[in-house]
Amino acid sequence: MKRVNVAIMGLGVVGGGTYDILTGNHDHIKRTQGVDIRVKKVLDRDRERVLGRGVPESAFTDSIDELAADKDIDIVVETMGGVEPAKTFIIRMLQSGKSVVTANKELISKYWYALEPVAKANGVGLYFEASCVGGVPIIRTLTESMQANRVCELYGIINGTTNYILTKMTEDGSSYEAALREAQQLGYAEFNPTADVDGFDAMYKLSILSSLAFHTTVPYGNIYREGITRITAEDIKSARDLGYVIKLLAIGRRENDRVEARVHPTFVPVDHPLAGVRGSFNAVWLTGDYVDDIMLYGRGAGARPTGSAIVSDVVFCAKRKTHEYTDFGIAEKADSHIEFATDFSSKYYLAVTACDRAGVLAAVTKILGECGVSIRNILQKGGEGEYAPVTFLTHTAKEKSVMTALEKIDKLESVRSIDSCIRCL
Ligand code: NAP
């Protein structure tokens, strides 16, 4: 039976989960997959933490040179996170003839173009199923199961922290601040939550997923990004009243040579399957030209689900004699014949606070009409004193038309504030 030796770099949450699976399910994997996978080395800064997890002393190292020189190590799992030194370590491992499996979405999104050629030149594999949507096998679905199709659309709830916060706000009426605090207490959100709540994490994942789905480089810099920090309890309530829930959606579309990629809070109709994805769960909805719609759902983070995705890559890699790389040749910049849409079309939910007097609503709707934004629904709510909140649901309109209209509305003396502009699915 084939014997494969693995090293893990970074024994934190995900590295620890990976170690537990590779040791705990060693016999099961050996029996069902026909490959004997052993963890030979664990690299980390903290010896005591590593030994405390049951790793034998002989397996511990804090030296990347030792890993590079060890000819018996076939596959290296990178679960340290961050860009450096992870990038340098991964390149070193690839150059030493070892395949690499990583969960590092930021690194893959930013430097995939630099890492893939090194893997290719050395005839080794670079795998990153765990970098997107934790335990949900989305990358293998895109690369190994959708070959018959042109994927034209991808909608994902691909960040568990923001989905947890929005679910709490929707179901318990929590404020954004209270829901974030709870997510931090439960370990779903970092002390510094920026990467999640400002949409960076979802943007990195969307860059990877849409590149694979659309067979062209989708740099993260070409993705429109907006986080959830401005979502208020009022927005959540309005969404409910209108038959929607608010989700942070990652949206990718390709039509011929036109690609659209964006991450932003979105009104999702309550009867859409993505509306039922609650708490820290994730889901990705894909549309292929022949398969039609499919949806993958599961845990997008955590030691065990993410470890499961890493081990799936380790097994996949261990069973291969040769490795495959992107068919389109991932690059630093987008292909010149691809046009990235900035003026996309959507329906919009708009909320403004305006003087509660005759003619004000007419002035606002006139501007919307002049900018080509047609209104589906207007709701004026009881205000306090001279001001009242008004919400609009539009028909499908162009992003730039809506932004131009909002700029003009904001200048009206009778409008106190533009409170919300949320795109609808
Ligand atoms: P973590 O718990 O902080 O684990 C990282 C481990 O690597 C820690 O033990 C850390 O030690 C060690 N480490 C970092 N830099 C090192 C270095 N230069 N030399 C030696 N050891 C080093 O992080 P994590 O949550 O497991 O995340 C790891 C990766 O998985 C990240 O890329 C993340 O984006 C990705 N990921 C995580 C999840 C999740 O649910 N957590 C899900 C999907 C993907 P110190 O603590 O001393 O720094």
Contact 282, 133 (CB under 8 A): yes
pLDDT at 381 over 90: no
- The closest of 208, 246, 210 to 228, measured between CA atoms, is 246
Q: Give residues with Cβ within 8 angstroms of 394, minimum separation 6.
A: 347, 348, 349, 350, 368, 373, 374, 375, 376, 402
Q: What's the pLDDT band for 57 if we cut at 50, 70, 90?
A: very high
Residue 402 has pLDDT above 80, yes or no: yes
Decide: 306 in ligand 1 pocket, CB within 6 A.
Answer: yes
* Residue 223 C-beta-side C-alpha neighbours within 13 Å: 31
Nearest atom (ligand 1) to Cα of 64? 19
Of all residues in the chain, what percent carry a pLDDT higher than 90? 95
Span from the CA of 193 to the centroid of ligand 1 (angstroms): 16
Of the candidates 350, 351, 359, 349, the residue with the CA atom closest to the CA atom of residue 413: 359
Closest CA to 260 of 323, 216, 314, 321: 216
81 CB near ligand 1 (under 6 Å):
yes
The Cβ-side half-sphere exposure at 307, using a 13 Å CA radius, reads 20
Q: Among residues 22, 17, 297, 249, which one has the least CA distance to residue 153?
A: 249
| Range with lowest mean pLDDT among 68-82, 180-194, 256-270, 336-350 | 180-194
Mutate to test the pocket of ligand 1, among 13, 139, 281 (most ligand atoms within 8 A of CB): 13
Query: How far are the Cα atoms of 25, 141, 201, 226 from residue 263, in angstroms, in the given order?
Result: 37, 21, 10, 6
- Whole-number Å distance, alpha carbon 78 to ligand 1 midpoint, is 9
Are the CB atoms for 363 and 357 separated by under 8 Å?
no
Q: Cα(284)–Cα(297) distance, rounded to whole angstroms?
A: 7
The two tokens of residue 67 are: 């890993």
pLDDT tens digits, residue range 82-121? 999 999 999 999 999 999 999 999 999 999 999 999 999 9
Nearest ligand 1 atom, CA 309: 43
Which residue owns the Cα nearest ligand 1 atom 25?
13
Of residues 98, 95, 55, the one with CA closest to residue 74: 98
358: confidence class by pLDDT, cuts 50, 70, 90: confident
Q: How many CB atoms lie within 10 A of CB 152?
A: 15
pLDDT tens, residue by residue, 222-257: 999 999 999 999 999 999 999 999 999 999 999 999
In the reported structure, the alpha carbon of residue 142 is separated from the centroid of ligand 1 by a whole-number distance in angstroms of 26
User: Quick check: 126 pLDDT over 70?
Assistant: yes
Instruction: Round the average pLDDT of the chain to a whole number and report it.
Output: 96
347 — pLDDT class (breaks 50, 70, 90): very high
pLDDT tens readout for residues 280-308: 999 999 999 999 999 999 999 999 999 99
* Secondary structure of the chain as H, E, C letters: CEEEEEEEECCCHHHHHHHHHHHHCHHHHHHHHCEEEEEEEEECCCHHHHHHCCCCHHHEECCHHHHHHCCCCCEEEECCCCCCCHHHHHHHHHHCCCEEEECCHHHHHHHHHHHHHHHHHCCCCEECHHHCCCCCCHHHHHHHHCCCCCEEEEEEECCHHHHHHHHHHHHHCCCHHHHHHHHHHCCCCCCCCHHHHCCHHHHHHHHHHHHHHHCCCCCHHHCEECCCCCCCHHHHHHHHHCCEEEEEEEEEEEECCEEEEEEEEEEEECCCHHHHCCCCEEEEEEEECCCEEEEEEEECCCHHHHHHHHHHHHHHHHCCCCCCCCCCCCCCCCCCCCEECCCCEEEEEEEEEEECCCCHHHHHHHHHHHCCCCEEEEEECCCECCEEEEEEEECCEEHHHHHHHHHHHHHCCCEEEEEEEEEEC
Confidence (pLDDT) at 383: 65
Instruction: Tell me how far the alpha carbon of residue 165 lies from the centroid of ligand 1, in angstroms.
Output: 23
In which band, very low, low, confident or very high, does the pLDDT at 384 lie, cut at 50, 70 and 90? low
Round to whole Å and give the CA distance between 181 and 281. Answer: 18
pLDDT at 324: 96
Q: How far apart are CA 358 and CA 11, in angstroms?
A: 65
Helix axes 160-172, 176-185, angle to 10 degrees: 130
pLDDT score at 380: 87
Which region among 36-40, 75-79, 365-369, 376-380 has the lowest average model confidence (pLDDT)?
A: 376-380
Ligand 1 atom with least separation from CA of 80: 7
Cβ neighbours around 376 below 10 Å, total? 13
Is cis: bond before 85, omega within 30 of 0?
A: yes
Beta carbon of 102 within 6 Å of any ligand 1 atom: no
Q: HSE-up of 100 (CA within 13 Å, CB side)?
A: 33
Most informative mutation of 11, 14, 78 for ligand 1 (most atoms within 8 A of CB): 14
